Amino acid sequence: MYSIEQFQLLNKAESLIMTQHSRKRFAERGIGIDDIIFTIKTGSIIEQYPDAFPSPSCLVLGYSGERALHAVLSIESDKIYVVTAYAPDPDKWESDMKTRKEQTI
């Protein structure tokens, strides 16, 4: 699986691949390219998704300034594919933003 160092080695704007849809969602969420770069630079992998389709991915927790961000990332052909990025919801994540809260039914 991935290591954060793999992403950090490729971490520059020209290596980030985002769909038009994801760019639109990032704009709605107030997340820019620099935020993604800082998230990778300061980040750690908190979940691995080896069976994700169309390729394995992982969840990175990082920070852009004081703002915690999660990014779902994948690597292919020396490019970082940014599947999604968002500010973690404190109702769904513990205060460390790394641990999912247990859901009660």
pTM across the whole model? 0.93
Look at residue 104 in the predicted model and tell me its pLDDT: 63
Look at residue 50 in the predicted model and tell me its pLDDT: 97
Look at residue 83 in the predicted model and tell me its pLDDT: 95
Enumerate residue ranges in the chain where pLDDT < 50. none
Look at residue 46 in the predicted model and tell me its pLDDT: 98
**Residue 62 neighbours by CB under 8 Å, 6+ apart:** 38, 39, 40, 41, 42, 43, 44, 68, 69, 71
Strand order in the sheet with 79-86: 16-17, 79-86, 67-76, 57-64, 44-49
Look at residue 28 in the predicted model and tell me its pLDDT: 96
Domains and CATH numbers, the chain: 4-86 (3.30.2310)
Look at residue 96 in the predicted model and tell me its pLDDT: 96
